[in-house]
Structure formats: structure tokens, C-alpha cells
């Protein structure tokens, strides 16, 4: 098993980290303090990324999985999912909040890439997409969605409310999860691409948050919002045999991306802490851990945890690129990376004492930003539940 990144992906990771140094970290504190103000400096970054991605943005993520399934002779490869994971890690080494507000690079674009047909992929190419799942009273249990979509001629009529929508005010498209038939359960949940300005869709408020303040987080209401049926992503039929699987494929592609965010933030905290403590607590990897100081030993344990999270993330993305079912691995990566990132950033603040707690350093900001990475795209408990179901071969009704 080769655990080294190919040269092409190493170059991509280095490029993203260099861009973080030059363009993201210098404005990181500015937009942490100026919550809800759009970082105009990101327009240049976004244009550069569009050039690298041929204008596809995050929509390329997930698309490789279906192509690989169709071509069994394609061979083993590293595609859009692996490239996205490596790039995201480098960007989040700079600032995860700014990454989340980069135009056309969001989780909604990955959702479109996961389930959109060829015509939809072309039509939405170059658009910035947000993803709207969470509702009041419906958090981690995405199957318990109350937003409805009723077919009326050539349109679906959407009614409901979504909260905690990342980039919900700024995005061109909001990918909305809604139920075609509440009585049919999970199988009736579909995703719809609702374009900004569609009558009946309204941003009702922006949230004030603990972290990722550069990213706008919106609540959106849908009141008799008419969406053309061509904007339903994936299969419009209610397939009880497939169940929730069609929509959940989105998570199989986006959870490794969130894990990559956590890996990037944790690495930033480790690197900065090592630099700050180099004189008082030099690290010596040649001696046994039991001969190390308490601070040294803690740092070694954090690095080992970080490496485990990184490898799980790469595995989940690699499986997606090669057409392998990765639901369990995606949840494992998300659970491990989210928890590890939160633990590492808080411990780094502690190890650096007053310097880690002050706004003179970004360590305190990273500790605040890290918490959301253990929550959105499914909490720690939900990820563990999914892994348990896969390991025990039990359905969601059998293991709740």
C-alpha cells in the first residue's frame, strides 16, 4: 500500500499552501472580526482556481465516481476527489472560513457533482452552489426532513425552512433537500437546485457564530417556491429499494472534503505551535516517548492522531475516485478528523498558554473554527452510527 502522494498532487498541495501564506492568512483576522462582510480579495483566488479547474469549481468532485463505475477498465487512479482533498487541506492551513466562502468551490457544487446528470452538470457549470439540509428541529438526522416538494405540471412547489446554510446568501444556487412524499419516508427525499432570485425563496437571517465568521451562514424560507422539474437532481422516481442511497451519495463525496478541512486546520495549529515552542520545548524524535517531557509527549500523540486522520481522509477520497463504495470510510474519516482537529487546536492553545489564547496569534481563531468541523456534514455521533451499521450490516431501522 503506497501512502505517498503522487508528484502531481504534492505540487497541488504546495501551491494551495503557498496561496494560503500569500493571500489567506494576511486577511484571516480581518474577516474574522468583520463577520458577514464579503472578502473581495477572494475574487482573484477564485479566478485562479477556475482556471485550474476549467471553470468546473467544486462540481468536479463526485463526478469521477460515476464515470469510473461505467468504465471498469479505467484502472486505479487519483481523480477530482483526491485533488480536492489535497487542495482543501492546503487552503484550510490558511483559513477554513475563507475556504468556505470561495465562490464556486462549496459543498453544494460537490453535491451537484455527485448526483446531477450530464445536462445539469453543463447547465450549472461555473455556478456557485450552497447546500441546504438542516432544518429547525432536524439536525443530524437528515432523513427527518419536513421541507416538501409537490409536483404541479412542469414545476415542483417547495415549502419549508432551512437553517445553517453555508454561503446561503452569496451562492448562485441553493441545493435544497425536500420530500416528495412524507409517507414514503427516506426514499422520497430528493435534492433540487434552486437558483437565487427564484420567487418564494427568501434569506431570512444570517447567523452570528463561534467560528468560520468569514463564511456567511443563512436561514432560508421557501413559500410556494416554484422550481422547474429539470432542476431535480438525480432520479425523480421514488425507489423504496434504493431508499435514501441516492441522496446519501452526496455525503459520501462531501464528508471527505470536510475531513480535509479539519486535517488542514489541525496541521496549521501543529506547525505554529511547534514554531512557538521550538526554544522552550525542542522536539527530539530519536528518543523514546517515555523519556520526553509531558509537553513533548503530548505533541507526539497529536501528530500521530493527525496522521491517522489524514490517511483515512485520503483513503475515502481515493475510493470515491475509483468507484468503490466509501460510505463507511467517508464517515470514519469525518469522525476521526473532526474530533482530532478540535482536540489538537484546543491543546495547542493550552500548550502556548497566554500567547495561544490572545488575538496576537491565529491559534485561538483556529480553535474556534475547528468546532464546526466536528458538527456539520453529520455530527460525531451520526458518523459512528453509520460506521456501526456498515460493520454490523444493519439497516437504519435496525440500528438507531
pLDDT tens digits, 204-233: 999 999 999 999 999 999 999 999 999 999
CA 88 to chain centre: 9
Q: Considering only CA atoms, which of 110, 117, 86, 377 is closest in space to residue 253?
A: 110
Supply the pTM of this predicted model.
Answer: 0.92
User: What is the chain's Cα-based Rg?
Assistant: 21
> 106-119 pLDDT, tens per residue?
778 888 888 889 99
CATH number of 245-392: 1.20.140.10
The DSSP secondary structure of 337-392, one letter per residue, reads: HHHHHHHHHHHHHHHTHHHHHSTTSSHHHHHHHHHHHTTTTS-HHHHHHHHHHHHH
Confirm if 15 and 24 have CB atoms less than 8 A apart. no
Cα dist from 235 to 138, 190, 228, 375, whole Å: 24, 8, 14, 29
Cα dist from 330 to 51, 71, 136, whole Å: 28, 23, 26
What fold is seen in the domain 7-123? Butyryl-Coa Dehydrogenase, subunit A; domain 1 (1.10.540)
Parse the chain into domains and list their residue ranges.
Answer: 7-123, 129-233, 245-392
For domain 129-233, the CATH architecture is: Beta Barrel (2.40)
Residues in the chain: 400
The stretches in the chain having pLDDT less than 70 are 1, 51-75, 140, 240-247
pLDDT of residue 115: 84
Amino acid at each position: 500500500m503506497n501512502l505517498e502522494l503522487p508528484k502531481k498532487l504534492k505540487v497541488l498541495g504546495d501551491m494551495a499552501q503557498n496561496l494560503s501564506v500569500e493571500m489567506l492568512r494576511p486577511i484571516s483576522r480581518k474577516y474574522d472580526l468583520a463577520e458577514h462582510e464579503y472578502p473581495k480579495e477572494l475574487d482573484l483566488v477564485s479566478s485562479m482556481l477556475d482556471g485550474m479547474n476549467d471553470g468546473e469549481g467544486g462540481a468536479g468532485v463526485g463526478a469521477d465516481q460515476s464515470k469510473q463505475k461505467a468504465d471498469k477498465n479505467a484502472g486505479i487512479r487519483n481523480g477530482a476527489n483526491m485533488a480536492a482533498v489535497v487542495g482543501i487541506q492546503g487552503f484550510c492551513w490558511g483559513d477554513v472560513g475563507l475556504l468556505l466562502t470561495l465562490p464556486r468551490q462549496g459543498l453544494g457544487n460537490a453535491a451537484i457533482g455527485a448526483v446531477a446528470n450530464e445536462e445539469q452538470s453543463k447547465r450549472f457549470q461555473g455556478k456557485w452552489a450552497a447546500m441546504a439540509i438542516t432544518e429547525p428541529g432536524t439536525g443530524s438526522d437528515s432523513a427527518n426532513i419536513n421541507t416538501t416538494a409537490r409536483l404541479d405540471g412542469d414545476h415542483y412547489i417547495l415549502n419549508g425552512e432551512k437553517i445553517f446554510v453555508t454561503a446561503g446568501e452569496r451562492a448562485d444556487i441553493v441545493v435544497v433537500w425536500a420530500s416528495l412524499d412524507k409517507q414514503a419516508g427516506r426514499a422520497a427525499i430528493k435534492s433540487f437546485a434552486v437558483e437565487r432570485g427564484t420567487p418564494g425563496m427568501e434569506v431570512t437571517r444570517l447567523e452570528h457564530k463561534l467560528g468560520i465568521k468569514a463564511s456567511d451562514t443563512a436561514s432560508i424560507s421557501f413559500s410556494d417556491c416554484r422550481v422547474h422539474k429539470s432542476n431535480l437532481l438525480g432520479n425523480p422516481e421514488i425507489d423504496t429499494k434504493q431508499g435514501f442511497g441516492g441522496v446519501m451519495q452526496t455525503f459520501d463525496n462531501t464528508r471527505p472534503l470536510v475531513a480535509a478541512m479539519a486535517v488542514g486546520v489541525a496541521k496549521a495549529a501543529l506547525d505554529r505551535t511547534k514554531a512557538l515552542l521550538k526554544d522552550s520545548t525542542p522536539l527530539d524524535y530519536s528518543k523514546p516517548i517515555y523519556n520526553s517531557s509531558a509537553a513533548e509527549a503530548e505533541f507526539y500523540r497529536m501528530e500521530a492522531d493527525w496522521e491517522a486522520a489524514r490517511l483515512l481522509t485520503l483513503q475515502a477520497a481515493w475510493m470515491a475516485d475509483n468507484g468503490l463504495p466509501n460510505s463507511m470510510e467517508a464517515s470514519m474519516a469525518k469522525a476521526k478528523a473532526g474530533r482530532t482537529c478540535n482536540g489538537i487546536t484546543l491543546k495547542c492553545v493550552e500548550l502556548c498558554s497566554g500567547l495561544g489564547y490572545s488575538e496576537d496569534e491565529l491559534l485561538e481563531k483556529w480553535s474556534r473554527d475547528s468546532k464546526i468541523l466536528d458538527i456539520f456534514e453529520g455530527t460525531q455521533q451520526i458518523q459512528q452510527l453509520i460506521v456501526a451499521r456498515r460493520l454490523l450490516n444493519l439497516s437504519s431501522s435496525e440500528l438507531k
